[in-house]
C-alpha cells in the first residue's frame, strides 16, 4: 500500500511539472525592462521631406531657379550627394548649414522650354547611416520662350 501511494504522488508531481512547463512555454514573454526605462530610439531611414519648388515633380521652374531637396537626416558632405541632370547641364551643389538640404544651382541658366530629369543616386551617403540605397527621380521643365 505504501508503494502504491508513492506511485500516485510521483504521477501527480510529473503531471504537475509537465503542466507548469507547458503553461510557461506558451505564455507571452515577460519584459525585462523596468517601466521607467524609455523604449530604444530607432534610427529613422533617410527620406526626402520636401522640395523647392514644391512639388518638384512635373513642375515648371524659372531658368535661374535653385532646386532644393530636403532630407530628414544630414548628408555626410556635399561630395556624397550623388546626383545627375539630364539633359546634361553643369551645376553646383551646396548644402545647408545642417546638411539636410541640398541646393542644386545651375552654373548657367536652365535652357528654356526644356524638360529635365534629376536623378538622386543610391550612392548618396548620410551621417551615421552610410549609403542610401535608394534612387529618386524628378522630372521638371522650364518655361518656353515665345518671343516678344
Per-residue pLDDT tens over the stretch 20-32: 445 555 555 555 5
Q: Are 128 and 109 in contact (CB under 8 A)?
A: no
Could you tell me if residue 147 is inside a domain? no
Q: Are 73 and 127 in contact (CB under 8 A)?
A: yes
b/e per residue 83-112 (b: at least 16 CB within 10 A): bebeeebebebebeeebbbbbbebeeebee
Per-residue pLDDT tens digits for 78-89: 999 999 999 999
Number of domains, the chain = 1
Per-residue pLDDT tens digits for 50-105: 999 999 999 999 999 999 999 999 999 999 999 999 999 999 999 999 999 999 99
Q: What is the CATH number of the domain that holds 107?
A: 2.60.40.3710
Residue 85 is given by DSSP the state E
Could you tell me if residue 80 is inside a domain? yes
| Overall pTM surpassing 0.85 (yes/no) | no
Domain limits at 52?
48-142
Could you tell me if residue 43 is inside a domain? no
pLDDT at 92: 97
Amino acid at each position: 500500500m505504501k508503494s502504491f501511494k508513492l506511485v500516485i504522488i510521483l504521477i501527480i508531481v510529473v503531471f504537475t511539472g509537465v503542466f507548469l512547463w507547458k503553461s510557461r512555454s506558451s505564455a507571452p514573454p515577460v519584459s525585462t525592462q523596468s517601466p521607467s526605462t524609455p523604449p530604444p530610439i530607432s534610427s529613422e531611414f533617410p527620406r526626402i521631406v520636401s522640395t523647392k519648388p514644391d512639388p518638384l515633380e512635373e513642375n515648371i521652374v524659372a531658368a535661374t531657379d535653385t532646386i532644393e531637396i530636403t532630407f530628414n537626416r544630414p548628408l555626410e558632405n556635399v561630395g556624397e550627394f550623388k546626383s545627375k541632370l539630364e539633359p546634361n547641364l553643369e551645376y553646383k551643389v551646396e548644402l545647408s548649414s545642417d546638411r539636410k538640404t541640398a541646393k542644386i544651382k545651375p552654373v548657367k541658366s536652365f535652357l528654356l522650354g526644356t524638360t529635365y530629369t534629376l536623378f538622386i543616386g543610391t550612392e548618396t551617403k548620410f551621417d551615421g547611416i552610410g549609403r542610401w540605397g535608394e534612387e529618386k527621380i524628378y522630372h521638371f521643365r522650364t518655361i518656353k520662350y515665345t518671343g516678344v
